[in-house]
């Protein structure tokens, strides 16, 4: 209920208890399949911090160069910063109400960039001043910027899932170019860049991986072998091999862009395990949502309103 009210729904205070009881009874939480534990040499320690605003739905965590952990408060329209050494939080309000902040990345000057997933914008936050600069989408049909990433030359790339677009933003000029994948309703989702600056993205509405040539802006699509595949997130190792999570089938996939060859492995917890976030740490593939510069996981636990740091050691 807090998430709903934070997102702009007006509920009379005297009806909150009644509505909460009704929703709890008639829409119970669905259980998830149990995970399969496979012994290995890695050891982890986990620490979680409760974020300041109840129902904010922390999402898309980011570990920045100064050691801070950032997250988007999707339902209360803030960006949050956590100092993991002290446990201190600071939340930064955004300019446009209900903009639905989603993806995060950091530029070379320490500014935090985000997608306004329900605000049709890309935003930049200066952590030193709290000032927010917004870049509105040039096409009114593009309402949902989703994931964003900087390439090696400082150009910002982003996906717009339901609008079926891939975007390019030049921070120096503010100019935005919008590209359309060849496949209709492809739903561009996760993104990554390789060592040569090529931009790869997964198409969550179909069974394909896309590639943008940063010079010509042409898009090439790589079909995956199973038509039921729905790749959701993506990472790239130092050899420019593309790895992706197949959310719908419970698989981990490997794509060699030089040949188009695809190799897939079933996730240990089975076809309903819904692999989601993925990262490459020293060319070892981990299922996660983000990592720190030191190779540790950062998790945004949206449903329990917490941010978690997972320390990895051998």
Q: What are the pLDDT digits (tens) for 16-31? A: 788 878 887 887 766 6
Structural domain that includes position 121: 43-313
Q: 62-90 pLDDT, tens per residue?
A: 999 999 999 999 999 999 999 999 999 99
Average pLDDT over residues 166-174: 98
Q: Is 45 exposed, middle or buried (0-12, 13-18, 19+ CB in 10 A)?
A: exposed
Q: What is the CATH number of the domain that holds 247?
A: 2.130.10.10
Q: Does 175 fall in a domain? A: yes
Q: Which of 228, 298, 221, 230 is nearest to 260 (CA)?
A: 221
Q: Does 2 fall in a domain? A: no
The Cα–Cα gap between 60 and 73 comes to 9
Check pLDDT > 90 for residue 314: no
Q: Does 79 fall in a domain? A: yes
What stretches of the chain show up as alpha helix (H) in DSSP? 2-6, 16-26
Any idea how long the chain is? 314
Check pLDDT > 80 for residue 2: no
Q: Does 150 fall in a domain? A: yes
Please state the domain count of the chain. Answer: 1
The Cα–Cα gap between 51 and 305 comes to 6
């Amino acid at each position: 209920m807090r998430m709903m009210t934070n997102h702009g729904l007006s509920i009379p205070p005297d009806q909150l208890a009644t509505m909460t009881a009704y929703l709890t009874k008639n829409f119970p939480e669905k259980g998830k399949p149990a995970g399969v534990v496979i012994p290995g040499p890695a050891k982890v320690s986990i620490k979680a911090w409760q974020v300041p605003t109840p129902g904010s739905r922390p999402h898309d965590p980011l570990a920045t160069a100064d050691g801070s952990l950032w997250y988007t408060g999707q339902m209360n329209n803030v960006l949050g910063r956590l100092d993991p050494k002290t446990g201190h939080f600071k939340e930064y309000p955004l300019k446009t109400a209900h903009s639905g902040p989603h993806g995060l990345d950091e530029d070379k000057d320490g500014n935090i960039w985000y997608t306004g997933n329900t605000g049709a914008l890309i935003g930049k936050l200066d952590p030193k001043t709290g000032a927010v600069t917004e870049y509105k989408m040039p096409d009114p049909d593009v309402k949902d910027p989703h994931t964003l990433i900087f390439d090696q030359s400082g150009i910002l790339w982003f996906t717009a899932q339901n609008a079926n677009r891939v975007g390019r933003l030049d921070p120096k000029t503010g100019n935005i170019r919008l590209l359309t994948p060849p496949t209709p309703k492809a739903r561009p989702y996760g993104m990554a860049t390789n060592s040569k600056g090529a931009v790869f993205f997964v198409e969550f509405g179909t069974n394909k991986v896309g590639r943008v040539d940063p010079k010509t802006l042409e898009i090439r699509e790589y079909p995956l072998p199973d038509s039921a595949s729905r790749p959701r997130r993506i990472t790239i190792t130092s050899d420019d091999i593309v790895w992706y999570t197949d959310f719908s089938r419970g698989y981990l996939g490997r794509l060699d862009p030089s040949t188009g060859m695809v190799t897939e492995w079933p996730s240990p917890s089975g076809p309903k395990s819904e692999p989601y976030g993925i990262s490459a740490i020293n060319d070892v593939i981990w299922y996660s949502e983000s990592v720190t510069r030191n190779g540790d996981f950062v998790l945004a636990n949206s449903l329990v309103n917490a941010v978690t740091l997972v320390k990895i050691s051998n």
